[in-house]
């Protein structure tokens, strides 16, 4: 089976993990956690970074620190991985789902702005929904597949309507908009290092921010809110969201290779673009003007998706459909969904992610192309 997206482990992973084992620093303390945080912050151009057990934990803590609380709303695109919405529910808040742009597959900013103008009002610094007077506290842009929306416009909308910005940048390490790295536009940016991401710690995430107080608070909350270095005194409800040293060591080795991995990813994408563009039945995600993307997970838009997906799998090529739109999941069907033509469902019905591991061979890529072009 040609895998969809697996880790590229070709650096100092064994060396750094062995050091953790040799020194017995394998758990929640150790030098690699701090080093990993420093390296990620430096790479994305953020002042501070706080490592977490996964990307979902990073989103959850960022929402808490943004002031999201019970019965609030958070705006989020309708096409995303479910963790984005789950993190909102962890705060006892509710999502407002915005349909996506048909070409970039990012949150439709025209729809967003139109909805806010027609359906909300500002009172005492809070944005309230007209129908029930509940607060809309934050917006969570999701950089789907490493692409980004017009972040300058999104930031202007957020400022105008007094919304905190929590960037779900879990897929976009190495992506930029107008030369600024993803995750650094908002109050908080959240990255994931799951096994299928562009670099991995096996499981892990990180919060980036330029606010020193919020960084300290994030560290405090993710370490069980323990206020004494000696005694077990906790001054508020905290979370066991720490990244452990042995996984951070893996992350340090991975980020040392990040630029090389992105180079490989872009070469893979270029091969697919070149050879699949000849088929009028295959289309691609449009890169937002001004964006430079990491080409994390190569995804095509194709008619007769289900039969093509079966053909790939029958030929031992791992492929996946897009995420089911959030408004179609049972637990989110009753939430507000802002749309005109339900572009989310159209994209979902036609998209397939195809093998693009950084270590994929050219022969394997050629096999994927041959099977896709075999009508």
- pLDDT tens, position by position, 126-164: 999 999 999 999 999 999 999 999 999 999 999 999 999
In Å, what is the CA distance from 208 to each residue of 61, 163, 330?
A: 11, 18, 32
Query: What pLDDT band is residue 374 in, cutting at 50, 70 and 90?
Result: confident
Question: What is the token pair recorded at 29?
Answer: 């303390």
Question: What is the token pair recorded at 145?
Answer: 């597949």
| High-pLDDT (> 70) share of the chain, % | 100
Q: What is the mean pLDDT of residues 165-187?
A: 98
Alpha-carbon dihedral angle through residues 299, 304, 307, 312, given to the nearest 10 degrees = -30
Q: What is the mean pLDDT of residues 339-345?
A: 98
Q: What is the mean pLDDT of residues 322-328?
A: 97
In Å, what is the CA distance from 34 to each residue of 50, 219, 225, 359?
A: 9, 11, 18, 29
Query: What pLDDT band is residue 187 in, cutting at 50, 70 and 90?
Result: very high
Query: What pLDDT band is residue 222 in, cutting at 50, 70 and 90?
Result: very high
- Does residue 30 have a pLDDT over 90? no
In the prediction, which pLDDT does 229 show? 84
Phi, psi of 212 (to 5 degrees): -65, -40
In the prediction, which pLDDT does 184 show? 98
Are 291 and 175 spatial neighbours (Cβ–Cβ below 8 Å)?
yes
Query: What pLDDT band is residue 122 in, cutting at 50, 70 and 90?
Result: very high
- Does residue 89 have a pLDDT over 90? yes
- Does residue 183 have a pLDDT over 80? yes
- Strand 205-209 and strand 299-302: pairing? unpaired
Are 70 and 93 spatial neighbours (Cβ–Cβ below 8 Å)?
yes
Cβ atoms within 10 Å of 375's Cβ, excluding its own: 8
* CB-based contacts of 80, cutoff 8 Å, min separation 6: 142, 144, 168, 323, 326
In the prediction, which pLDDT does 277 show? 95
Q: What is the mean pLDDT of the chain?
A: 97
Are 144 and 189 spatial neighbours (Cβ–Cβ below 8 Å)?
no
How confident is the model over 271-322, as pLDDT tens digits?
999 999 989 999 999 999 999 999 999 999 999 999 999 999 999 999 999 9
In the prediction, which pLDDT does 375 show? 67
Residue from 169, 180, 257 nearest 205 by CA: 169
In the prediction, which pLDDT does 241 show? 97
How far apart (Å, rounded) are the C-alpha atoms in residues 142 and 148?
A: 8
pTM value is 0.97
Are 150 and 288 spatial neighbours (Cβ–Cβ below 8 Å)?
yes
Question: What is the token pair recorded at 234?
Answer: 């906790």
């Amino acid at each position: 089976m040609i895998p969809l997206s697996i880790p590229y482990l070709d650096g100092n992973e064994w060396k750094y993990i062995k050091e953790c084992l040799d020194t017995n620093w394998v758990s929640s303390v150790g030098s690699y956690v701090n080093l990993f945080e420093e390296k990620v912050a430096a790479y994305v151009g953020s002042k501070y970074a706080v490592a977490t057990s996964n990307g979902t934990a990073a989103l959850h803590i960022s929402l808490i620190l943004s002031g999201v609380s019970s019965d609030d709303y958070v705006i989020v695109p309708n096409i995303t991985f479910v963790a984005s919405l789950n993190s909102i529910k962890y705060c006892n808040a509710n999502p407002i789902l915005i349909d996506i742009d048909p070409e970039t597959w990012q949150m439709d900013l025209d729809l967003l702005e139109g909805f806010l103008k027609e359906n909300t009002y500002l009172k005492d610094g809070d944005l309230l929904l007209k129908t029930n007077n509940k607060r809309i506290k934050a917006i969570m842009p999701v950089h789907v597949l490493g692409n980004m929306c017009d972040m300058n416009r999104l930031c202007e909308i957020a400022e105008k309507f007094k919304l905190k910005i929590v960037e779900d940048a879990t897929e976009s390490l190495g992506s930029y908009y107008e030369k600024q790295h993803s995750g650094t536009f908002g109050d908080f940016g959240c990255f994931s290092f799951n096994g299928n991401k562009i670099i991995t710690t096996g499981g892990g995430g990180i919060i980036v921010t330029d606010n020193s107080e919020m960084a300290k608070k994030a560290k405090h909350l993710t370490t069980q809110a323990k206020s004494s270095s000696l005694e077990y005194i906790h001054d508020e409800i905290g979370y066991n969201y720490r990244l452990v040293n042995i996984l951070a060591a893996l992350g340090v080795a991975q980020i040392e290779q990040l630029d090389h991995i992105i180079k490989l990813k872009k070469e893979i994408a270029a091969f697919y673009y070149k050879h699949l563009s000849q088929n009028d039945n295959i289309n691609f995600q449009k890169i937002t003007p001004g964006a430079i993307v990491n080409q994390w997970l190569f995804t095509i838009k194709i008619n007769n998706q289900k039969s093509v997906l079966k053909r790939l799998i029958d030929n031992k090529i791992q492929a996946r459909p897009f995420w089911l739109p959030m408004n179609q999941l049972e637990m989110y069907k009753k939430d507000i969904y802002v749309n005109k033509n339900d572009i989310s469902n159209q994209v979902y019905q036609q998209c397939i992610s195809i093998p693009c591991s950084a270590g994929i061979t050219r022969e394997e890529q050629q096999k994927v192309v041959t099977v896709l072009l075999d009508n």
